[in-house]
């Protein structure tokens, strides 16, 4: 918002200065027109007076004219003539001085505007630089965290593979123990006793069943943790992609665009020493 307010203020100042400059140009053109018209009339009068000065008794085509001593109704006195000419010159000098003053003001305004924009540009560039550094640091931290998560995923996948194999390895002994117990139920008569072998087989079945149950519980927990790690992986990858997009927009698009239109530093405006500038356009 601050940058936008500064730019709007600069634009308003430049607009007012442009309006004043446009009005001064109009006044300059008016003064120029009056001077040129007066100069043209004086040149015609001077040409006529030169012709009159060259006349003598031997000049061909001299003649009498009727009522030559008349006073033309639109003629003016010498004082009026002097006042008219002096007024044109004074008006032209006034507009010239006004132009010099306005030109100095315009130079100061342009120089100050360029300086302000340069400073603001530096502030924005610094903000871009700091923002990019913060975004890149955040991206790098996310990447480090992602690498750790990937390591945990790989480790958890190995654990799951190991647990699945361990469960599978229990099937053989479990089947053997079950088969032995089932076979021993066929012992005849009094031979169907609960001997130590029977007790050991029953304990073995219970032990294997308990072991398998614990392995399956651990497997289920590992699978839940693996799903959580996979979700975290996706979330980190999305966050990193967002940071990459931000970096691309700021570093590639915005910074490149700003560098392609460098602001003037106000040092090449030149100075007007007075008089008509060769590049002045009225």
Q: What is the DSSP annotation of 86-102?
A: HHHHHHHHHHHHHHHHH
pLDDT of residue 277: 39
3-state SS class at 77:
coil
256 band by pLDDT with thresholds 50, 70 and 90: confident
pLDDT of residue 171: 87
Q: How far apart are CA 160 and CA 167, in angstroms?
A: 10
Percent pLDDT > 70 in the chain is: 91
Task: Find the Cα–Cα–Cα–Cα dihedral 168, 169, 172, 178, rounded to 10°.
Answer: -80
| Tokens of residue 66, six digits | 């009727």
38-45 long-range contacts (CB < 8 A, ≥24 apart) are: 38/84, 38/85, 38/88, 42/85
Q: What is the mean pLDDT of the chain?
A: 85
- HSE of 263, CA atoms in CB hemisphere, 13 A: 19
Nearest Cα neighbor of 95 from 34, 25, 182 is 25
Q: How far apart are CA 88 and CA 82, in angstroms?
A: 10
For 12-39, letters b (16+ CB in 10 Å) and e give: eeeeebeeebeebbeebeebeebbeebe
Domain ranges of the chain: 1-53+83-260
Average pLDDT over residues 36-60: 91
Q: What is the DSSP annotation of 41-72?
A: HHHHHHHHHHHHHH--TT-TT----TTTT---
What digits encode the pLDDT tens for the residues 224-252?
Answer: 999 999 999 999 999 999 999 999 998 88
Q: How far apart are CA 143 and CA 151, in angstroms?
A: 12
3-state SS class at 147:
helix
User: Which of 74-88, 109-123, 169-183, 230-244 is the most confident on average?
Assistant: 230-244
Q: What is the pTM of this model?
A: 0.58
Residues 6+ apart with CB under 8 A from 202: 181
What digits encode the pLDDT tens for the residues 176-187?
Answer: 989 988 898 888
Q: How far apart are CA 122 and CA 129, in angstroms?
A: 10
């Amino acid at each position: 918002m601050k940058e936008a307010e500064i730019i709007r203020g600069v634009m308003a100042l430049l607009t007012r200065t442009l309006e004043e400059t446009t009005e001064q140009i109009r006044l300059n053109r008016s003064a120029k027109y009056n001077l040129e018209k007066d100069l043209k009339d004086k040149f015609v009068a001077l040409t006529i007076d030169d012709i009159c000065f060259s006349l003598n008794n031997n000049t061909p085509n001299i003649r009498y004219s009727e009522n030559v001593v008349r006073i033309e109704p639109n003629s003016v006195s010498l004082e009026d003539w002097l006042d008219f000419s002096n007024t044109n010159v004074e008006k032209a000098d006034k507009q010239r001085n006004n132009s010099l003053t306005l030109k100095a003001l315009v130079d100061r305004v342009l120089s100050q505007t360029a300086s302000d924009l340069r400073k603001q540009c530096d502030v924005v560039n610094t903000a871009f630089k700091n923002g990019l550094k913060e975004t890149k640091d955040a991206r790098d931290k996310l990447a480090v965290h992602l690498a750790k998560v990937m390591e945990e995923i790989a480790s958890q996948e190995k654990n799951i593979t190991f647990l699945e194999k361990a469960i599978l390895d229990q099937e053989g002994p479990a089947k053997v123990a079950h088969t032995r117990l089932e076979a021993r139920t066929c012992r005849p008569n009094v031979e169907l006793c609960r001997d130590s072998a029977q007790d050991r087989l029953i304990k073995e079945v219970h032990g294997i069943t308990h072991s398998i149950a614990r392995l399956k519980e651990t497997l289920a927990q590992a699978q839940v943790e693996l799903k959580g790690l996979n979700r975290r992986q996706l979330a980190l990858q999305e966050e990193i992609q967002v940071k990459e997009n931000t970096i691309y927009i700021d570093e590639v698009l915005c910074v490149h665009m700003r560098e392609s239109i460098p602001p003037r530093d106000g040092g090449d405006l030149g100075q007007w020493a007075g008089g008509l500038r060769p590049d002045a356009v009225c």
